[in-house]
Structure 1
Amino acid sequence: MSLPDRPFAAVLFDMDGTLVDSTAAIARCWTTWATEHGITAEALVAAHGHGRPAAEIVRDLVGARLAEQAAARITELEVADVDGVVQLPGVPQLLAAVPAGRWAVVTSCSRPLADARRHAAGLPEPAVLVTYDDVTRGKPDPECFVLGARRLGVDPADCLVVEDAPAGLAAARAAGCATLAVRTTHPTGPLEADAVVDLLSHVRASADGAGVRVRIDGPRV
């Protein structure tokens, strides 16, 4: 597996598990939510595929009638708990190497949660932020990445998506993007992408008039 040897018009980054480590906060909040709603740990694990929007997970667990109120509660818990949310290794250097107008954050989070975690981790402001509130269908549907590319004024086929989750990678492929997977949340098992790395500290980027070039200096997986 290898990245296409060409410049990209833009890079579209997932957030949780790709740019920021929010694993502990997510576990705390969902455990509290599940206890409040009488959801077993086994049911929560079965429904909680990483990369899926919280609203869709909630609907699967509590049903359509209770979904709106239950989704509001998990949002409330997660926005309030950003303790320990930090940038993952290599992220500051990689984002600094990509021109500000050439990258976006495309996340399954709601807008309030995305803002809370970005600010907690100290991420720079993206030129474009696409959240679950901006789309009608969450990952693995490609709508979010198509929208991110459109808002940057580029073709999705000219974009690289950086993701950590199978749902997000499937969405990126369906949008026609090149894909780079990072093994932060899925350290084992297959990740279908053009290239896979353990951490973004193994990735380098440079930009010129032709676009953004991305290369892998560390071990591929």
Structure 2
Amino acid sequence: MLGLPGHVTACLFDLDGVLTQTARVHNAAWTRTFDDFLRQRAAASGEPFQPFDPGPDYNRYVDGRPRADGVRSFLASRKIVLPEGTPDDPPEAETVNGLGNRKNVLLLQRLRDSGVEVYPGSVHYLKAATAAGLRRAVVTASANGAEVVAAAGLASLLEARVDGLVARDQGLRGKPHPDTFLAGAKLLGVDPAQAAVFEDALSGVAAGRAGGFGYVIGVDRVGQADELLAHGADRVVKDLADLLDIAEPLTPAARNSAAHHSAAERDPA
């Protein structure tokens, strides 16, 4: 009924983009942060301004990663190096942590202004998983995980949380490393092989595969099904509610078969 193999007894959900619609808010905050930084840098150097791309740049370098890792990864793509600073750097500091904190100020402002929207299909799936007796945890790179979960009204459906603050306190590496998902499984008292990972980010899917989890489900909100499969998803769906339908969601084998049949239809010979 839940679209999971029989050996799975626990679910580890990413937050932004899987349970809540805050991924678009994160994206907007990152875009504003990086564009302001890049525009100022271009004006000072006389080089052309090349804006942050909220599509490929966000998905490849930022999505699913801890703030500092996202800053570092994107700047490296532009061959820009900043001092690391510390997590307590003020938002105006020209450091990796300062830039990340600048983004967080914008994010919190946007969340206050627009609130937190959930994906109805995800709430439906969470309730079904709860009724089925599966263990449930949220695993997010966001340092605002507790606030977002509470604002979204999901606290009663989740038993445990591993977020950016927990990761920093425990020295856990961010996605694509599996550390935070492994910590989530430990909190639920299950082996990784008994847990399913639900992720919309390429780095998160890679983390699920690297951790040896029993099943990795990619949630394709932005049209990157092929990339999710390539990074290690066992199955890709548009929405978690699709897992409750009779029709089988997309798997690598099904995708290859569909491509083969499509080619045959185009060229009967």
Q: TM-score range by the shorter chain?
A: 0.7 to 0.9
Runs of 4+ in 1 over 4 A off after TM superposition: none
**Structure 1, residues 6-39: CA drift from partner, whole Å, max 9, x if none?**
1422100011111111243223312321244235
Residue of structure 2 in register with 1:38 after alignment: 38
Shift in Å, 1:184: 1.1
Residue of structure 2 in register with 1:130 after alignment: 162
Q: Does 1:121 align with 2:161?
A: no
Residue of structure 2 in register with 1:81 after alignment: 110
Q: Secondary structure at the match of 2:25?
A: helix
Larger Rg: 2
Letter in 1 for 2:107: E
Structure 1 distance, partners of 2:64, 2:205, is 9
Q: Secondary structure at the match of 2:174?
A: coil
Residue of structure 1 in register with 2:68 after alignment: 55
Residues 59/220 of structure 1: CA separation in 2 closer, same or farther (3 Å cut): same
Picking from 99, 122, 126, the partner of 1:70 is 99
Shift in Å, 1:57: 1.5
Residue of structure 1 in register with 2:181 after alignment: 145
Q: Secondary structure at the match of 1:109?
A: coil
Q: Secondary structure at the match of 2:101?
A: helix
Q: Does 1:201 align with 2:241?
A: yes
- 5+ residue gaps, structure 1, are 205-215
Structure 1 distance, partners of 2:21, 2:180, is 21
Residues 127/201 of structure 1: CA separation in 2 closer, same or farther (3 Å cut): same
Structure 1, 51-60 or 151-160: larger mean CA deviation: 51-60
Structure 1, 181-190 or 5-14: larger mean CA deviation: 181-190
Letter in 1 for 2:14: D
Residues 175/188 of structure 1: CA separation in 2 closer, same or farther (3 Å cut): closer
Q: What RMSD, in angstroms, separates the aligned Cα atoms of the two structures?
A: 2.4
Residue of structure 1 in register with 2:190 after alignment: 154
Structure 1 distance, partners of 2:145, 2:222, is 18
Residue of structure 2 in register with 1:103 after alignment: 136
> Kindly, what percent of the aligned residue pairs are identical?
32
Aligned 8 A contact 1:104 1:148 in 2: yes
Structure 1 distance, partners of 2:105, 2:247, is 39
Aligned 8 A contact 1:48 1:57 in 2: yes
Aligned 8 A contact 1:86 1:122 in 2: no
Letter in 1 for 2:216: T
Structure 2 distance, partners of 1:14, 1:23, is 11
**Structure 1, residues 94-140: CA drift from partner, whole Å, max 9, x if none?**
11122387100001111xx2233323332234211111232331000
Structure 2 distance, partners of 1:182, 1:54, is 21
Q: Does 1:191 align with 2:228?
A: yes
Structure 2 distance, partners of 1:43, 1:218, is 35
Shift in Å, 1:5: 3.1
Structure 1, 70-79 or 59-68: larger mean CA deviation: 59-68
Matches within 5 A, 1:170-181: 170-177=206-213, 178-181=215-218
Q: Which has the higher strand share?
A: 1
Structure 2 distance, partners of 1:36, 1:5, is 46
Residues 176/116 of structure 1: CA separation in 2 closer, same or farther (3 Å cut): same
Letter in 2 for 1:57: G
Letter in 2 for 1:20: T
